[in-house]
Chain A
Amino acid sequence: MNGTLVVAEHLRGELRDVTFELVAAAAEIGGPVSVAVIARDPSLFTDALSVEGVDEIVTVQAEAEEFENDVYQQVIEALIEDRGPGFVLLGFTVNGMGYGPAVAAKLGLGFASDVFRLSREEDGLLARRAFYGAKVHAEVDFPGKERVLLMLRPGAWAPAEGRGDPTITDLSVQVTAPRARHLKLVDPPAGDVDITAADFLLSIGRGIGTREEIPRFEALAGKMGATLSVSRPLVDAGWMTNARQVGQSGKTVRPKVYLALGISGAVQHLAGIKGDGTIIAVNTDPEAAIFGVARYGAVVDLFEVAEALAELFA
């Protein structure tokens, strides 16, 4: 076992927050921490990556400006071979999903994804992840594995900060032509509403059942002085635009009050709720994961509550 290798994630020339969270998790594991940054011009990132807890930055030059999964896979495999890290940490992100499991499968590494807590036991590392609609947590371990690759849940660790003084190593890795090639990035269409600016979000999920119910919640939001937001299934179904979607693939919001009606609390939904606002959840399922993050919860029918609220705010 020889330290931890963190893979930096960047987009459009900026490091993503998860990179610094991975550094914090690596520091928690203990031992030397190397951060690999793969980019057309990796030197652009070395200053920002020089945070406390990073012992070494390994820069690897790549041809494409943005992420390509074959390139990342080959570079990380070469680095694992070269450095022999005990742990490799990636974000549980869309990019990470494109190559992390392939590296683990190819090299026979211990592997787990969406890990949100780590603890060290006498006989190795314990990772915690959720199962069954996040209603159940599990502790998993990696018996007999010399190396372990973990994909960590974004937001689960506080980002590493403070200046550090890492050494910088340039490594050149020969990669074969990528079979999946990045062509271009396309921004989502600009929305008609900015839910990220709202202090009070009334957020509805699949629990509302049908499209026909939407007007009543639009009306309720109006009465309560709230902005209406939604979970992804309502956008997938074409009932609402992506501009109103809260979550990993939607918007990140920081309201003072987040009133969730009929939302189960999937990890990708919760990823979009930041800050220290008050979450109030209404759900008929007492074991719904949303109750694990809500300050206030009520196990009642959302339509009955909505009706009672409409009367109160008439």
Chain B
Amino acid sequence: MKIVVCVKHVAVLGDEIRFTTDERDVDEDYYDRTLNEWDACAAEEALRIRERLGGEGEVLVVTVGGPSADVALQRCLAMGADRAVRISFDQTVHDPIAIGHALSEAIVPEQPDLVLVGVQSSDSVQGSTGTALAQFLDLPRVAVVKKVEYDHATRRATCHRELEGGLVDVVEVDTPAVLAIQTGINEPRYPTFRAIKDAERKEISLVSAAGGAVSGYHVRRMFVPPKPEGAEMLDGGPADVARRIAEIVKERLA
């Protein structure tokens, strides 16, 4: 049993936003990074699927990113993944088609039984990488999965796909398949301090790729959107703000 999990080290912007000189992206010096929430759930689910099968097999984590993305991989290694691969692009790329393609090249030789990804990354919200990846791998896929029951004997998985309004579509999928995991499926484990320290010493394999090999879009420019017209910021301390809120509520409900 081999499960590949694709993860992203997402950007978390603070309250100061600066753009690169070509204005086509945010300057990396102005944000922090963390393991994408959806991907933490995907990694956890991979570990649980393996545990349910008696603990046999391998969990491999893959990311596309610069050296700092090793932190996201190490987090997954500390959670219990066995091996990590980082695909390094020659440029920053957000395009899910490009990312899906690069991931597929690293995953093909692995011949996994399952590939788990997060539904989306919190910083780009494209909901597309997993489905693009499935196409490049020529595998079936299920997007927005809140429950997985994998049957290794029949090589099938029953998935609960969460639709709008919380409605569940129960889907049976042939595997190998790509499953895009939704939050709430599990609560990702917190690795111990010891496991984190051990993970830092594990080797991460590096693959280089050309960022623009295939693509869906090209970013022309990024900017901070103007605040909507008529919006009003309430000044003062908490007591002043509370008083104004009370007034507004009274007025609107009258």
Decide yes or no whether A218 CB sits under 8 A from chain B.
no
CB within 8 A of B143: which of A69, A141, A184? Answer: A69
Within 8 A of B (CB), among A101-116: 101-102, 104-106, 108-114
- Name A137's contact: one of B132, B223, B234, B249 (CB within 8 Å): B223
Which residues of chain A have C-beta atoms less than 8 A from B187's C-beta?
237
Could you tell me the distance between the alpha carbons of A110 and B224 in the complex, rounded to whole angstroms?
A: 25
B233 touches A298 (CB 8 A): yes
Q: Which of B14, B97, B162 contacts A249 (CB 8 A)?
A: B162
> Once the chains are docked, how many angstroms separate the CA of A45 from the CA of B163?
21
Type the 1/0 row for A122-139, where 1 means its CB is closer than 8 Å to any CB of B: 000011001111111111
Whether B248 pairs with A280 at a CB distance below 8 angstroms is yes
The interface centre, meaning the residue of A69, A183, A200, A292 with most chain B CB atoms within 10 A of its CB, is A69
Stretch from A50-58, A160-168, A305-313 contacting the other chain: A305-313
Q: How near does chain B come to A148, taking the closest CB pair, in angstroms?
A: 9
Contact residues on A (Cβ < 8 Å of other chain), bracket: 35 or more
Q: For residue B119, which residue of chain A has the nearest CB?
A: A97
A205 within 8 A of B: no
Chain A contact residues, majority secondary structure: mixed
Contact with A along B211-246 (1 / 0, CB 8 A): 000101111111111011011111001110111111
Which of B127, B135, B144, B234 is A297 in contact with, Cβ under 8 Å?
B234
Cα distance A93–B144 in the bound complex, in angstroms: 10
CB contacts under 8 Å to A, within B161-188, are 161-174, 177, 180, 183-184, 187
User: Nearest CB to that of B187 among chain A residues?
Assistant: A237
Residue among B162, B167, B249 with most chain A CB within 10 A: B249
B11 at the interface (CB under 8 A from A): yes
Q: Which of A257-294 contact B (CB under 8 A)?
A: 257, 259, 266-267, 277-278, 280, 282, 285-287, 291-294
Q: Pick the contact of A296 from B174, B220, B234 — CB < 8 Å?
A: B234
**A308-B143 Cα distance, complex, nearest whole Å:** 44
Q: Which residues of A contact B12 (CB under 8 A)?
A: 133
Q: Which residues of A contact B94 (CB under 8 A)?
A: 131
Stretch at the interface among A19-27, A32-40, A228-236: A228-236
A92 within 8 A of B: yes
* Given known A111-B128, A248-B164, contact A97–B144 (CB-CB < 8 A): yes
What is the bound-complex CA distance between A293 and B164, given in angstroms? Answer: 22
A83 at the B interface (CB under 8 A): no
Please tell me the number of chain B residues within 8 Å of chain A, measured between CB atoms: 84
Least CB distance, B195 to chain A, in whole angstroms: 23
Other-chain residue from B129, B239, B253 in contact with A256 (beta carbon distance below 8 A):
B253
Give the chain B neighbours of A87 by CB distance below 8 A.
none
Chain B 133-181 residues near chain A, CB threshold 8 A: 134-136, 140-144, 158, 160-174, 177, 180
**Contact across chains for A113 and B127 when beta carbons are under 8 A apart:** yes
Q: Within the complex, what minimum Cβ distance (angstroms) separates B87 from chain A?
A: 17
* Residues in B whose Cβ lies below 8 Å from that of A106: 135
> Which B residue sits closest to A68, measured CB to CB?
B171
Is A98's CB within 8 Å of the partner chain B? yes
Asked if B220 and A139 sit within 8 Å, CB to CB, the answer is yes
Q: What residues of A have a CB within 8 angstroms of the CB of B100 in the complex? A: 101, 105
Minimum distance in angstroms from B245 CB to a CB of chain A: 6
A127 cross-chain contacts in B, Cβ below 8 A: 217
The list of the 5 closest CB pairs from A to B, nearest first, reads: A111-B216, A308-B242, A179-B140, A304-B238, A236-B184
A-B pairs with beta carbons under 8 Å apart, 19 shown: A11-B167, A69-B131, A101-B129, A111-B216, A112-B217, A131-B26, A132-B123, A136-B225, A137-B225, A138-B222, A139-B220, A140-B220, A180-B140, A186-B167, A186-B170, A267-B125, A280-B245, A287-B13, A305-B242
B interface with A by C-beta (< 8 Å): 11-15, 17, 26, 31, 94, 96-97, 100-101, 119, 122-129, 131-132, 134-136, 140-144, 158, 160-174, 177, 180, 183-184, 187, 214, 216-225, 227-228, 230-234, 237-239, 241-246, 248-249, 252-253
